[in-house]
Amino acid sequence: MEGNIVTNKKTIFKTARKKVNGWEVLKVLLFVFIAAIVILPMLITLFASFKTLPQIGSESALKPPSVLNLDNYKDVIKNNHVFTGLKNSTILVVVSVVLNSLLSTMVAYCLTRFNFKLKKVYLAVFLIGMVIPGTVTEISRFGIMVNLHVYDTLLAPILIYAGADLMQIYIYNQFLSQIPVSIDESAMMDGASYFTIYWKIIFPMVVPATATLGILKAVDVLNDMYIPFLYMPGANHKTLSTMLFACIQDPRTSSIPKLSAAAVIVMIPTLLIYFIFQKFIFSGIAAGAVKE
Amino acid sequence: MFKNGDVKMQKNIILVTFLFIPTILILMFMIYPLIKLIGLSFTNWDGLSPTYKYVGFKNFKKIIFDSPEVWAALKNNGVYFVGHILFIPIELFIAFLLDNRVRCCKLFKTITFLPYIINGVAVACMFSFLYSSQDGVLNSVLQFFNLGKIGWLSDPNIVNYSLTAVSLWRFSGIHIILFLAAFQSLPPDMTEAAVIDGANSFQQFYRIVLPNIKPVVEIVLFLNVRGALQVFDIPYVMTAGGPNHASETFTVQTINTAFQYADFGRACAMAVVLMIIIIIFSVIQQKLFNLKG
């Protein structure tokens, strides 16, 4: 019996092997090439972060560091606001993601479950939001932030990040339209209010979409340089991105090895998020973004 | 159970409470700035003084007829735009292979999307090192093959291509993942039928797969116009628009006009122009795409 299975496995293996032709090898080689392009710049940066400046000049960039020299990291942490950046970025991510997912599910719930007069106008407004080039509207948004007295506080970016956008509403709509309205109705029969339906039924059922959108939002917020750079110039309000930007401009840390160490520090949070949650990212994009 | 009137009342209450904050946010931080932007584009505001004068179409006239640097910057945006457009067929092909047509496709999928996740400023740091003229990695590779050094970021004729390469490195992944998601949403029997009818892979792809993922291709094309015309952080962090304005993009210039030269009126006019260009380009692109399809 056992032998039988083994021979079976062998034949399966053989047939699988037969398929390995030139085309198959070429395809794998193509992807190895792509992987190299993606990974090499990061690997080189990681190596450089452990080297000294003379080593950078004399060694090949691809040579792993001979010793795990942490001086660059110590210097960056000593001279720059690494922990402030980490703290502020964390606050921004948590608050923005929570607010944003509540607000966008609420909008999506209203838009899919109710008919109201201004529905079309409402959607059009979100569509305009999609076409407006964000970077340049900051010029006029800037004045509003100053007038609201939120300039150079964490509130300024939060107000911008928290708002729902068309893409999110669209993806939530995809999920919500798959939840039969009869569920709402039967809950209603049992005396549930619309709020209870949203909070106890709808919100828990769209959690997969929330996971995807929340992760993408978290990555966006962590990686955004522009908004914190404009609205939070104070040293106490550095985020990871603006801290790194400050490193580039600070002569104490602008050498290649130190900058590499700073870049590695800044990359770690998003990489962690990515490797832990990547399942959700891909499944959510697949489920929501495409089905028209 | 609720009576009909109660339900209607409740519906109105929920609509008002649920939509209140999102509406305030979008009106205050999207629509109002947009209206203000358009309004300010007709003024000579410097961003600080409490008063300003309306100057009519002066800002727009100056941008269109008397600002060669604006057009030079737009040409730089064009390099990003064309670079990404040329990459779309490659991205489609890679996504097509990732759809279970290559070994270890899960691993390769993870790697392909990786650059999109990385902090833009960190990406700028990494590539500054690769491109550096002194100890840069690329130049030492060239030296190894006895080729001359290239001023990746210092040669005005090359800098935009170097920066576009960074942009491709960073953003191709998201296009590929969107295409891949589109491929995976197609029912498998769709291509199976074509295989039975004797269609080869190319025919399968061109005649069956491509027409069916058209909406996603349209989204990617729109994102590309929007992205290419708004490139900001890569040139701003890596070259600050240099050498000698050679890599300034439209947005870098707009921001400098506003915050460095304190000419908010003109910067707002530039923003309006950019918006119009984005809309025109998207419409033309869509028309062309539909003609071809």
pLDDT digits (tens, 9 = 90+) for B37-93: 999 999 998 877 888 889 889 999 988 888 888 999 999 999 999 999 999 999 999
> Does one domain contain both A143 and A53?
no
> Does one domain contain both A144 and A267?
yes
Does residue B90 belong to the interface with chain A, where contact is any CB pair within 8 Å?
no
Does residue A273 belong to the interface with chain B, where contact is any CB pair within 8 Å?
yes
* pLDDT-wise least confident of A20-24, A29-33, B93-97, B272-276: A20-24
DSSP-derived letter for residue A287 is I
pTM: 0.86
> Does one domain contain both A93 and A142?
yes
> Does one domain contain both A110 and A197?
yes
From the list B111, B258, B278, which residue is nearest A139 (CB)? B258
Does residue A24 belong to the interface with chain B, where contact is any CB pair within 8 Å?
yes
pLDDT bucket at A252, cuts 50 / 70 / 90? confident
From the list A35, A244, A260, which residue is nearest B121 (CB)? A244
pLDDT digits (tens, 9 = 90+) for A215-240: 889 999 999 998 999 899 888 999 99
Chain B positions in Cβ-Cβ contact with residue A150 (cut-off 8 Å) = none
Q: Which two tokens stand for residue A103?
A: 């607000």
* CATH for the stretch B69-119+158-292: 1.10.3720.10
> Minimal Cα–Cα distance from A1 to chain B, Å?
31
- Confidence at residue A1, expressed as pLDDT on a 0 to 100 scale: 43
From the list B10, B185, B275, which residue is nearest A291 (CB)? B185
% of chain B residues with pLDDT over 70: 98
Does residue A76 belong to the interface with chain B, where contact is any CB pair within 8 Å?
no
Listed by number, the residues of chain A in 100-129 with a beta carbon closer than 8 Å to a beta carbon of chain B are 103-104, 106-107, 109-110, 114, 116, 122, 125-126, 128-129
Provide CB contacts within 8 A for B131, sequence distance 6+.
Answer: B138, B152, B153, B162, B238
Q: Which two tokens stand for residue B159?
A: 């800098």
Chain A positions in Cβ-Cβ contact with residue B2 (cut-off 8 Å) = 188, 191
pLDDT digits (tens, 9 = 90+) for A98-129: 999 999 999 999 998 888 888 888 888 888 87
Structural domain boundaries of chain B?
Answer: 69-119+158-292
> Does one domain contain both A130 and A6?
no
Across the interface, do A133 and B18 touch by the CB < 8 Å criterion? no
pLDDT digits (tens, 9 = 90+) for A147-182: 899 999 999 999 999 988 888 888 888 888 888 889
Among residues A26, A53, A69, which one ends one of the domains? A69
> Minimal Cα–Cα distance from B12 to chain A, Å?
9
> Does one domain contain both A193 and A65?
no
> Does one domain contain both A48 and A172?
no
From the list B18, B40, B113, which residue is nearest A106 (CB)? B18
pLDDT at A5 over 60: no
Across the interface, do B125 and A107 touch by the CB < 8 Å criterion? no
> Does one domain contain both A190 and A120?
yes
How many CB atoms neighbour CB A209 within 10 A?
25
Give residue for tokens 């910067």.
Answer: B267
pLDDT at B1 over 50: no
> Minimal Cα–Cα distance from A18 to chain B, Å?
14
Across the interface, do A240 and B119 touch by the CB < 8 Å criterion? yes
> Does one domain contain both A162 and A227?
yes
> Does one domain contain both A268 and A124?
yes
Across the interface, do B22 and A116 touch by the CB < 8 Å criterion? no
Among residues A49, A69, A89, which one ends one of the domains? A69
Give residue for tokens 């993009």.
Answer: B249
Query: Distance between CA atoms of B13 and A188, rounded to whole angstroms?
Result: 16
Question: How many separate domains does chain A show?
Answer: 2
Domain hosting A64: range is 2-69
pLDDT at A69 over 80: yes
> Does one domain contain both A259 and A285?
yes
> Does one domain contain both A163 and A206?
yes
Residue of A nearest to B174 (CA): A285
> Minimal Cα–Cα distance from B242 to chain A, Å?
15
- Confidence at residue B115, expressed as pLDDT on a 0 to 100 scale: 94
From the list A34, A139, A286, which residue is nearest B112 (CB)? A34
- Confidence at residue A168, expressed as pLDDT on a 0 to 100 scale: 86
> Minimal Cα–Cα distance from B3 to chain A, Å?
11
Torsion of the alpha carbons at A179, A96, B127 and A275, rounded to the nearest 10: -50
Among residues A53, A69, A85, which one ends one of the domains? A69
